[in-house]
Every structure is written in C-alpha cells, then in structure tokens.
C-alpha cells in the first residue's frame, strides 16, 4: 500500500504542475457535502488514488488513511478491530481530509472535540506544489483546519481511534432549559433535537456489550428522528448508530417525499442515503426547477438557510429564542462541542474552556415582500457573532470582507498563504467561501 500511495503522490504532483498558471484547481470527486454550488471545472485533479485506508494499528489505536477516504469506508475498516474514529461526522460520504480542512462534528464532540484534534500527522499537497509532512505543533498543522482547500489538500493522515462495544443504548430525555446539557458528561454520545420551543430532547448514548432488547433498524421503513418523540429508550448496533442520521439526511429526506410510507416502500433501500439527496438538490439548484414551479404557482420566493453554528452554551437559550421567532425552521439539531485540549486552531478560534453547542438547521424560508435573498442568513450571521459564536463555512456566507477576516483570523491566514501558496494558485478563503469563486 505504501508504494501505491507514493505512486499516487508522484502522479498528482505531475498533474498539479501541468495545470496552466491561473487555472482554477478543483478535485475530481464523486460526492460533495458542501452547499456552495459552483459550475463544473473544465480541468480537475484526479485524487482517486487517495481514497482508502492504508492500515489500522489495533494495538496503538491508530489508522493511516488517504485524505479522500469517506468516513463510510473508514468506519468499515476500523469496526472489525473494535475501533472507530474519535469523531465520525454524521454523513457517510464526508471525507477525512474534508472534515479536517472544513471541520466536522458529531455526538462525541462534547468530549473529543472536532475531527482534526485526533489527527497525529498529515501529508499535504500545498498551493506551491510541495508535499509537506506536518505534525502536531507545526504552523501548517494548526492552520489547516477551516482552510477549505485554500492552503492545500490532505493526501494522507494518521489519526487516533477509540474502542467501541457492539451496541449503543439510547435514552431520549425531554428538557426545557438548555443549561442541562452540561449535566450529562458521563455518557459516550450526546446530542439533541428541537422540534419546537416547547418540545426539545437530549439523546444520551452509552456503549453496551449486550443489547437489552432487539436493536432497532432505521435503514428501511422506520425513521430515526421520529423515534425520538415516540421512544424513551432504544438500542442500535454501533454501525447503525454511527449512521443513524444518514438514511434520511437527518430529516431532510421529507422534501423528496421519501418519508411517505408508499414512496418509501418503492424507493430502493440502497438509495436512502444523504449523497443521493444532495445530488438531487445540486441538480435542482443548477436547473432551478423548484424555483420555476414556485413562480408558476405564484408562491413567494424562498431562501435556502442551510447552516451549522456554534453557540456558547450560556447563550444558547437566547439564540433559540431568536431563531424560533425570526427564522422558524424545525427541527433543529443540537450537538455539544468542547475542544479536546488547549491546542489553538487559528482559523476557527474557539475558547478551549467553553462548552459550545452546534445548532444545525437545513431548510428554506419564505421571503417576505421586499426581502432579498440572503436576508435570513445575514441576520443569523450577525446574531451568532453578537452571541460570541462561530459559523461553519460549508454553505453560503455573506460576511463583509473586514468582518470575515476579523472572525477567521485574517492575519494568521495571510501568513500561512504567503508560506504555502505564495503565487495564489489556490483561491483565497474569503473568495471561496463568501464570493463563491
């Protein structure tokens, strides 16, 4: 596997060198979990050689992984060893390199932080065409998270793993005050679902060696998020727990009619997957089919509000009150996150002593007369900033340039850009994430 990887590195370096000066650099990937849609590039880098798990060291609890490896394939390689990554983002086709360069989160994040915190070392193709090996403490290692491919691409990563047990036992607890989230640090998994201002649940997960009941199956006719309201207790196999949100893209499959019992019986089971739904959305965005139907029917325009934001737990109640009043999307996913240690990550500065809660919401909102596209997203950005939070950059952003660089450490970013992409072959972070270039 090592020789194969080295050949892939050499081939990619040659591809990169052959790109004309000024040509946009894009990766040839079958899937994407970004919601910044762009026209297809004429030329792309073939990175298929970096999709795969190179090795798993069960004794050391580490894995050597290609940067374009999906978490679905990574989990399939580690579970037979009784191990899993410390944080597994909730969708199967998120890649390890993508989660490190663009951040990720899941229900172990209250203890294990973000995916890049369990990376031991990386091999990165930088913007100036070098292959750089970087490890904890290095400037590039610390500056790579939240760089979204504007400093380089992770080709190989060595990561820590954690032991698992065969099953995860769940308890769904209804709550009123978000402050209770801080009282549940004794579990293995922790996240929450907000159905309305008066119906909110925490889901507490614990590893167990033996199932106390028949494990539930949410990969077919049953739907996981609906079970949160109906079942106080549940149990899943560890693999089904890890991918509990993927089958219905949390709850977003409803937009495609897939939650209708008749449609669900007819829909092939292998296509109940987040990447299938995302491709449908990309096709609709490109050809504007839904927008045209809406105009024919005389319905108001709608604004996509697809975001994840981190709010300090102490301010979460304020954020939810605002959100229910001004935005009105439901359900909302809650995922507590606390940095694993005191290591600082300059492009996504979070206080290591603060417990944050990620709020995820993904839908469209009707525009009132006189409102322009972006109105709701801009309001959310402002409120998140006012509350001392942060916003992930995988979707549309509307920040003014000076505000963006204040929030995402423009001074440090520019220093990294000068060192690893001095000729600007890769796009600037603001241009890529806000201007969409």
In sequence order, the 6+-apart residues with CB closer than 8 A to the CB of 260 are none
pLDDT in tens, the chain (437 residues): 678 999 999 999 999 989 887 777 878 777 776 766 666 555 788 899 999 999 999 999 999 999 999 999 999 999 999 999 999 999 999 999 999 999 999 999 999 999 999 999 999 999 999 999 999 999 999 999 999 999 999 999 999 999 999 999 999 999 999 999 999 999 999 999 999 999 999 999 999 999 989 999 999 999 999 999 999 999 999 999 999 999 999 999 999 999 999 999 999 999 999 999 999 988 888 888 888 888 888 888 999 999 999 999 999 999 999 999 999 999 999 999 999 988 889 999 999 999 999 999 999 999 999 999 999 999 999 999 999 999 999 999 999 999 999 999 999 999 999 999 999 999 999 999 998 86
Dist CA 253 CA 115 (whole Å): 26
Among 3.30.465.10, 3.40.1190.20, 2.40.50.140, 3.30.200.20, name the CATH number for the domain at 2-164+417-435.
3.30.465.10
Give start and end residues of each alpha helix (H) in 311-374.
316-326
Distance between CA atoms of 22 and 429, rounded to whole angstroms? 16
For residue 225, give Cα distances in angstroms to 144, 148, 244, 248, 251. Answer: 34, 30, 9, 9, 7
Using DSSP bridges, classify how beta strands 167-175 and 119-126 pair: parallel, antiparallel or unpaired.
Answer: unpaired
Q: DSSP letters of 357-423?
A: EEEEEEEEEEPPTT--TTHHHHHHHHHHHHTT-EE-SSS-----HHHHHHHTTHHHHHHHHHHH-TT
Q: How many CB atoms lie within 10 A of CB 284?
A: 13
- Phi (first) and psi of residue 322, to 5 degrees: -60, -45
pLDDT score recorded for residue 41: 58
Nearest to 357 by CA among 207, 220, 187, 179: 179
| CA torsion, ordered 80, 167, 62, 334, to nearest 10 deg | 140
- Cα separation of 38 and 34, whole Å? 10
pLDDT of residue 35: 66
pLDDT recorded at residue 251: 97
State CA 238 to chain mean position distance. 20
Chain-centre distance for alpha carbon 333: 13
Which pTM does this prediction carry? 0.95
């Amino acid at each position: 596997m090592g020789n194969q990887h080295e050949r892939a590195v050499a081939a990619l370096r040659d591809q990169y060198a052959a790109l004309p000066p000024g040509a946009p650099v894009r990766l040839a990937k079958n899937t994407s979990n970004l919601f910044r849609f762009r026209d297809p590039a004429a030329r792309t880098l073939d990175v298929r050689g970096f999709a795969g798990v190179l090795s798993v060291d069960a004794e050391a609890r580490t894995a050597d992984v290609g940067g374009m490896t999906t978490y679905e394939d990574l989990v399939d390689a580690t579970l037979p060893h009784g191990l899993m990554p410390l944080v597994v983002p909730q969708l199967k086709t998120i890649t390890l390199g993508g989660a490190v360069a663009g951040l990720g989160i899941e229900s172990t994040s209250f203890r294990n932080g973000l995916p890049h915190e369990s990376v031991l070392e990386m091999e990165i193709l930088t913007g100036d065409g070098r292959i750089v090996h970087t490890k904890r403490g290095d400037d590039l290692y610390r500056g790579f998270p939240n760089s979204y491919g504007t400093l380089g691409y992770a080709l190989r990563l060595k990561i820590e793993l954690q032991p698992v047990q065969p099953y995860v036992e769940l308890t769904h607890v209804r709550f009123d005050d978000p402050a209770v989230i801080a009282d549940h640090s004794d579990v293995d998994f922790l996240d929450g679902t907000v159905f309305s201002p008066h119906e909110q649940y925490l889901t507490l997960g614990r590893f167990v060696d033996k199932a106390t009941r028949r494990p539930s199956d949410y990969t077919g006719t049953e739907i996981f998020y609906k079970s949160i309201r109906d079942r106080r207790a549940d149990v899943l196999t560890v693999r089904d727990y890890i991918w509990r949100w993927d089958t219905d893209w949390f709850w977003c499959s409803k937009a495609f009619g897939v939650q209708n019992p008749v449609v669900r019986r007819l829909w092939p089971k292998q296509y109940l997957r987040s990447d299938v739904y995302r491709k449908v959305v990309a096709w609709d965005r490109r050809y504007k089919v839904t927008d045209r139907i809406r105009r024919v029917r005389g319905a108001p325009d709608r604004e996509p509000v697809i975001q994840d934001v981190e709010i300090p737990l102490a301010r979460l109640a304020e954020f939810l009150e605002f959100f229910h009043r001004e935005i009105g999307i439901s359900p909302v996913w809650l995922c507590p996150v606390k940095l694993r240690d005191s290591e600082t990550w300059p492009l996504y500065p979070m206080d290591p002593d603060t417990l944050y809660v990620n709020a995820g919401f993904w839908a469209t909102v009707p525009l009132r007369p006189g409102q322009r596209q972006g109105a709701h997203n801009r309001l959310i950005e402002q409120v998140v900033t006012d509350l001392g939070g942060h916003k992930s950059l995988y979707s549309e952003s509307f920040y003014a340039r000076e505000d963006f660089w204040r929030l995402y450490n423009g001074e440090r970013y520019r220093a990294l850009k000068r060192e690893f992409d001095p000729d600007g072959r890769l796009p600037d972070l603001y241009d890529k994430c806000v201007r969409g270039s």
